[in-house]
Amino acid sequence: MPLTPDQQAEVDAQRAQTVPTRRAVSPGMEAHLYTAIPVLDHGFVRVIDYMGDDAAICQAARVSYGRGTKSVQNDEGLIRYLMRHWHSTPFEMCEVKLHVKLPVFVARQWIRHRTANVNEYSARYSILDREFYIPAPEHLAAQSVVNNQGRGAALEGEEAARVLDILKTDANRAYDHYEQMISQDGQAGLARELARMNLPANIYTQWYWKVDLHNLLHFLRLRADAHAQYEIRVYADAICKVVADWVPFAYKAFEDYRMGGATMSATALDCVRRMLKGEEVTQETSGMSKGEWREFMDTLG
């Protein structure tokens, strides 16, 4: 259950309130405010607050670049220009604050993106719930033999059942010991800040994560990618849907130029020019390493 009854009651109360405002609002984002989007087995993402919209990006760009944007006739065209030419500061005018519930090992990946403000649930002061991420059977996979940080073929049958049993048993045993250490029959048990170190990395934590749109799109470009780990990718996918409703022009440009586009080296671009002239280019004549050539071929499809 992603939300407890108390949390759901809080969400209902927040969504029932409406306040007149003079600030810019995004109708698409207003529909998402406070609502929890379920992710994984116990996790969620929900919007707590936001600032700005597509118009705010354009407003900032026109202040910054002045005459340089006069040739752009509309907001969507301007935003596409900014995205195409890697102008970042106008996108920093928009911000969002998210409440995220996620497994600790996913949080440790996520925190590598250091361009946000984070406040995490503290297990020094509070007791963590008995909630663990247990993968669905179809997401249990063997180690990839070609990628040291990736997955290979899915586990099946008895092997999958054995792994699931280990994950569930170990997680619950660790939590049992956690409870025993912090409670000693009415006497003061082990300090919570020490007892927490015995908990597994698949236990759930929560945080507030505030980030500007420029850095959020960078996060999404990496974490919503097909090569990202599944458990963080599903959070990125959920956030993508929110951003698409919040700043539709910016998100469309992001999909086109970042998610669906490709960056080429000077060597790769030279190979494309040679191919367009009808020359047969091979890895040996390309000037690329085998790895670069393989990626180049993947880009060309």
For 141, phi then psi, to 5°, come to: -140, 155
Is residue 178 within 8 Å of residue 210, measured between CB atoms? Answer: no
Please name which of 98, 46, 51, 125 lies closest in space to residue 208, comparing C-alpha atoms.
98
Burial of 232 (0-12, 13-18, 19+ CB in 10 A): buried
What residues contact 231, with CB distance under 8 A and at least 6 apart?
40, 103, 105, 106, 133, 135
CB contact at 8 A, 213 and 87: no
Active-site entry in 162, 223, 274, 294: 223
**126/122 Cα distance (integer angstroms):** 6
Residue 223 among the catalytic residues:
yes
**What SS3 state is found at 38?**
strand
Q: Which residues have a catalytic role annotated?
A: 223
